[in-house]
Amino acid sequence: MSTPSSTGKVPVGGAELYYEIHGDGPPLVLLHGGVDPSQTFGAPLAAMAKTHKVIAIHMRGHGFSTDTDAPWSSELMADDVAAVLQHLSIGKARFMGYSLGAGVALQVAFRHPELVEKLVSVSVDYRTDDDYSEVREAFRQLPVHAAEYGQQLASSPLGELYPDVDWEQVFRKSGEMNEPEYDWTKEIKAMTAPTLLVFADADSIRPEHMVEFWKLLGGGQRDAGFDGSQRPASQLAILPGTTHYNLIQSPLLTEVAAAFLTQ
């Protein structure tokens, strides 16, 4: 794990949002996946901090952030992120989010477009029917098994790393926030920030969805031309030999992300 140059907490709507700052350079907001911030804030954070001033934010109820009784949503968490950036006097930043964090980063682009210079969206869908059916069913079962899963994590190394987390609530709220139907097609079409979509070749998301997402951003419309002058501003990467669950640890991810962000 990288050593932060500074840390802090920002009060937002009754919760306190924890953040760390690593490295130096253009600001990059790094948003973790569900349940376990340490996956994203380990090797990927250290890699991105070589070229950026990374602001790593723990979403409400995760890691070292606190929570309230309010139900979770990507919209609520996006507003939390915007509040942290306002507190830090950061008017515009690059964003990189994985899974849950990618959904939150997209909502920042929808709701606070003035904050987003570029976006790296890692392994997230934009419609409820784009995940495989077994993935949707697993989310539906989370509230049912929240107590069991929470007890297991509380006594695990992850529980020791984040001792103040209410793990039962994490699983229950994670399941509940994925229950409503959603379709962000209209919002994605309206995005203006250059975006890199990254997926695993054995992702939890259907491959046809990846292409559809890419096309909503202007990709896949025509040949880029011999000199590449006709290629869109956004990009697509599908990383071989990866899954939704280990993609965040792939060195290829930080390689393609860093190349895109520093272009």
The predicted structure's pLDDT at residue 200: 98
Residue 1's pLDDT band, with cuts at 50, 70 and 90, is low
Pairing, β 15-22 against β 93-98: unpaired
Task: Tell me whether residue 193 is in a domain.
Answer: yes
When pLDDT is averaged across residues 91-117 and rounded to a whole number, the result is: 98
Average pLDDT, the chain: 96
Task: Tell me whether residue 251 is in a domain.
Answer: yes
CA distance 166 to 151: 10
When pLDDT is averaged across residues 218-234 and rounded to a whole number, the result is: 93
When pLDDT is averaged across residues 235-262 and rounded to a whole number, the result is: 97
What pTM was computed for the model? 0.96
* Residue range of the domain that includes 71: 6-130+184-261
The predicted structure's pLDDT at residue 109: 98
The predicted structure's pLDDT at residue 170: 97
Looking at the 3D structure of the chain, how many domains does it have?
Answer: 1
The predicted structure's pLDDT at residue 263: 87
Task: Tell me whether residue 161 is in a domain.
Answer: no
Q: Is the pLDDT of residue 2 over 80?
A: no
Q: Is the pLDDT of residue 102 over 70?
A: yes
CA distance 49 to 27: 10
The predicted structure's pLDDT at residue 47: 95
Task: Tell me whether residue 102 is in a domain.
Answer: yes
Each residue's pLDDT tens digit, 156-183: 999 999 999 999 999 999 999 999 999 9
Task: Tell me whether residue 147 is in a domain.
Answer: no
CATH classification of the domain holding 104: 3.40.50.1820
* Phi-psi domain of 200 (left: phi exceeds 0; alpha: psi -120 through 50; beta: other): beta
Task: Tell me whether residue 116 is in a domain.
Answer: yes
DSSP string, 199-218: EEEE-SB-HHHHHHHHHHTT
Q: Is the pLDDT of residue 152 over 70?
A: yes
Residue 91's pLDDT band, with cuts at 50, 70 and 90, is very high
Q: Which residues on neighbouring strands pair with residue 6, listed in sequence order? A: 21
CA distance 199 to 202: 8
SS3 (DSSP) at 140: helix
Of 61, 53, 50, which is closest to residue 20 (Cα–Cα)? 53
Each residue's pLDDT tens digit, 45-70: 999 999 999 999 999 999 999 999 99
Task: Tell me whether residue 114 is in a domain.
Answer: yes
Residue 186's pLDDT band, with cuts at 50, 70 and 90, is very high
CA distance 112 to 108: 5
Task: Tell me whether residue 44 is in a domain.
Answer: yes
When pLDDT is averaged across residues 200-223 and rounded to a whole number, the result is: 96
